[in-house]
Amino acid sequence: MVGLAESILGAPEEKLSENTTRQLSLIINSGKRLDYLINDLLDLAVIRKDNLQLQMESVTLFPLVQNVLQLLEPLIQGRSLNFKNLVPPDLAPVLADPGRLRQVLMNLVGNAIKYSETGEIVVSALRRRRDIEIAVKDQGIGLITPKGSFDKLFSRFYQERASADGSGVGLAICKKIVNAHGGKIWVESGGKGKGTTFRFTLPVASDGQKGPDATPSNPEVVA
C-alpha cells in the first residue's frame, strides 16, 4: 500500500492535484505509523526473552527528529497543536540503533499527541558530559499517576487512563530500547493539566565508534 502510493506520488508523468497529493501523503504516513505499531506488538516477545538486538552507529539527531515529526504531522491536523524541533543541528551525534531510536521517538511524540489538543510538542536535546539527554515535552493534560508511581508508566499494558487508546506497550518498549543503549528514561510532570516531559539519555558517539549488539539483562528505570 505504502509502496504503491509512493510510486504514484513520485511519478514525474503524473499531474496530481494538491488534494490528491495530500491524500497520498496521508496514506503513506498512516501506513508507516501502522508498521511501527505492528513492530511494537512484535517486540513484546523480544522484551519477554530479553534478547533485543541493536545495530549501533553514529546518529545525528536533528534530521532523525525532523523525520519523525513529519511522519506524525497528519495526527495533529485540525488541532491547535504545533511541533518544534529544538535539537541543535550541530549537536554531537549519539551512538545508537537509528531504527530503534526512531521507534522511541515515534512512541514518545505519539503519546504526547494523544494527550494534547493545543499548545506545542517540543523535542530538544543537550549534551551532558558523555551522554546526550533528549526531551519530548508537551503542554497537554499532564499525569494523574502519583509522582511516586511514575515507574508504572513503563510497565507492559499499563494505561494511565482507562479511556486511552493504544496498546499500552509503547513506553515499556521505550524503556527496553533506551536501557539496551546503556541509557536511562524517566518522566516529569507538574500534575493534572500541567503537561508532561519524557527524558532519556544516549551515549555520545566517538568517531567511527560502533557498539555491541547486546541488551543489559536487568535494565532499570529512573522516575
Place of cell 524517566: 186
Q: Is a pLDDT exceeding 50 seen at residue 219?
A: no
Q: Is a pLDDT exceeding 50 seen at residue 87?
A: yes
> pLDDT digits over 30-65, tens only?
665 666 566 656 556 555 556 678 899 999 999 999
Q: Cα–Cα distance between 14 and 17 in angstroms, integer?
A: 10
pTM exceeds 0.85: no
Query: What is the rounded average pLDDT for all residues in the chain?
Result: 78
Res. 10 pLDDT band, cuts 50 70 90: low
Q: Cα–Cα distance between 97 and 181 in angstroms, integer?
A: 8
Grid cell, residue 87, equals: 535539537
Sequence-distant (6+) residues with CB within 8 A of 149 are: none
DSSP calls for the chain? -HHHHHHHHH-TT----HHHHHHHHHHHHHHHHHHHHHHHHHHHHHHHHT------EEE-HHHHHHHHHHHHGGGGTTSEEEEEE---TTSPPEEE-HHHHHHHHHHHHHHHHHT-SEEEEEEEEEEETTEEEEEEEE-SS---S-GGGGGGGGSTT--SSTT--S-S-HHHHHHHHHHHTT--EEEEE-STTS-EEEEEEEEBPPTT----S---SS-----
* Cβ atoms 121, 111 nearer than 8 A: no
When computed from its CA atoms, the radius of gyration of the chain, rounded to whole angstroms, is 18
Distance of CA 207 to the CA centre of its chain: 25
For the chain, give the percent of residues with pLDDT over 70. 67
Q: Is a pLDDT exceeding 90 seen at residue 9?
A: no
- Among 20-34, 66-80, 100-114, 205-219, which is the least confidently predicted range? 205-219
Mean pLDDT (whole number) for 214-220: 33
Mean pLDDT (whole number) for 120-134: 96
| pLDDT for res 191 | 73
Res. 95 pLDDT band, cuts 50 70 90: very high
> pLDDT digits over 157-196, tens only?
555 544 444 455 788 889 989 999 999 999 998 777 789 9
